[in-house]
Amino acid sequence: MTRLTPDEIDRSEALFAPLAQSLRELVDVTIRSEADDADVRRAHALIEQATELLGSRLAPEPFSMRATTDGRTLTWGNVLIGKRNAIAPPLLVERDADGRATADLTLGAPYEGPSGQVHGGVCALILDHVLSATAHRRDAPAFTGTLTLRYVAPTPLGPVRAEAWTDREERGKTFAVGRLLDADGVVTVQAEGVFIRPRAKS
């Protein structure tokens, strides 16, 4: 596995995070574009040229996790928080002193399910992540055991907030609850989940 120094991480992130951000715009306009055929063909050729340049040297491991020289792993590729992943909004989870996890984000056309609404599965994806954040400990990631979602109102595309907190802890299991709110503060999805931290190797 490629191991990167903190300097290499900073330099790579400074190059790739803005590129991924531009790529998010490209994903969005690809859905909404009504450009002339000739412009679409030129854009397609530019996309293929960009892929060739970036693909000229690829990480040898099949997927996206990278280790750092100080033993951490990078989450550049993560589908929801990855700074190099154009699928990721990206989500930034904030945790307060009580362990409450919150994420504010804006979901545009690429996250649509029913017309003008966020796809119910995208709500699930976000809530899974924010609920699990209440269970994560440094060097002890938590895995989802069960997740239950109750859809109480449509979630319009636009700004949304996800919130989660711990209901109780029992022998390595965190019982978390949370919800998704629309721009007006209306709860659209309620969630509860059980998250499991594998026992530390002894």
From the list 83-91, 96-104, 166-174, 179-187, the region that binds a second copy by CB under 8 A is 83-91
CA gap 141, 81 in Å, rounded = 15
Query: Considering the rule CB under 8 A, would residue 141 count as an interface residue with a second copy?
Result: yes
- Kindly list the distances between the CA atom of residue 60 and the CA atoms of 17, 54, 85, 194, in Å, as whole numbers in the listed order: 21, 14, 18, 35
How far apart (Å, rounded) are the C-alpha atoms in residues 42 and 163?
Answer: 43
- Answer for which of 56, 96, 139, 184 binds a second copy (CB under 8 A) is 56
Give the Cβ contact number of residue 190 at 10 Å: 15
Which parts of 162-201 interact with a second copy (CB under 8 A)?
none
d(CA 35, CA 9): 38
**5, 6, 54, 137: which one binds a second copy (CB under 8 A):** 54
HSE, CB side, 13 Å, CA atoms: give it for residue 151: 11
Please pick, from the candidates 90, 93, 101, 129, the single residue that binds a second copy as defined by CB under 8 A.
129
Number of residues that bind a second copy (CB under 8 A): 87
Work out whether 155 is an interface residue with a second copy (CB under 8 A).
no
Tell me how far apart the alpha carbons of residues 50 and 26 are, in angstroms, rounded to a whole number. 12
Q: Give burial (CB, 10 Å; 0-12/13-18/19+) of 26.
A: middle
**CA dist., res. 15 & res. 31, Å (int):** 26
Q: Give whichever of 98 and 173 is closer to a second copy, judged by the CB atom.
A: 173
Give the binding range for a second copy (CB under 8 A) out of 138-146, 159-167, 170-178, 179-187. Answer: 138-146
C-beta of 78 vs 174, nearer to a second copy: 78
CB nearer to a second copy: pick between 98 and 115: 115
d(CA 3, CA 61): 12
Residue choice 69, 94, 146, 159 for contact with a second copy (CB under 8 A): 146
13-32 residues in contact with a second copy (CB under 8 A) are 15-16, 18-20, 22-23, 25-27, 29-32
Cβ proximity to a second copy, 99 vs 151, nearer residue: 151
